[in-house]
């Protein structure tokens, strides 16, 4: 992710280089990270200072070679904080534990669900109004493509 170095078309560097490469611009990956958290309640009188730079790639991706991104379509997972249009960060190297939110493929259909182990098989839970759970029995084909690590969505 690039912050502050733009190409002539307004694209981050890496898509054509900086506007003035001859000026010796050195790009430090990432964006500034404030040294102190920002209060969500009563504002702090303390002055915040930039502590370091934060690369979202490094912050969100633990296993680069095993991570992929996928866009959400639908509202079946709003109770888990996953909304229509969100970008999910999915790690294929993590073993899905009981109650992990996963990208699953059931009988050829992709979905994001919470996977729960039950005596009858695996229960894929939804959390949105009007969306039921799916019980995957032994006669069905289930593949877990990865564990959802992050959901990225706009604030408003």
Residues forming the active site: 76, 113
Listing DSSP states for 99-151 in one string gives TEEEEEEETTEEEEEEEEEETTEEEEE--STT---EEE-TTS-EEEEEEEEEE
Alpha carbon distance 149, 90 (integer Å): 6
Alpha carbon distance 113, 135 (integer Å): 11
Tell me whether residue 88 is exposed, middle or buried, using C-beta atoms within 10 angstroms of its C-beta: 0 to 12, 13 to 18, 19 or more. buried
Helix (H, G, I), strand (E, B) or coil at 31: strand
């Amino acid at each position: 992710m690039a912050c502050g170095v733009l190409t002539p078309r307004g694209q981050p560097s890496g898509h054509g280089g900086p506007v003035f490469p001859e000026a010796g611009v050195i790009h430090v990956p990432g964006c500034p990270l404030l040294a102190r958290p920002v209060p969500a309640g009563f504002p702090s009188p303390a002055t915040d200072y930039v502590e370091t730079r934060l690369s979202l790639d490094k912050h969100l991706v633990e296993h680069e070679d095993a991570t992929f991104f996928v866009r959400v379509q639908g509202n079946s997972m709003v109770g888990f904080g996953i909304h229509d249009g969100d970008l999910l960060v999915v790690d294929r190297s993590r073993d899905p534990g009981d109650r992990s939110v996963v990208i699953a493929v059931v009988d050829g259909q992709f979905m994001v669900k919470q996977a729960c182990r039950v005596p009858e098989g695996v229960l894929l839970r939804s959390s949105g109004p009007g969306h039921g759970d799916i019980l995957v029995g032994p006669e069905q084909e289930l593949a877990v493509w990865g564990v959802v690590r992050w959901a990225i969505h706009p604030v408003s």
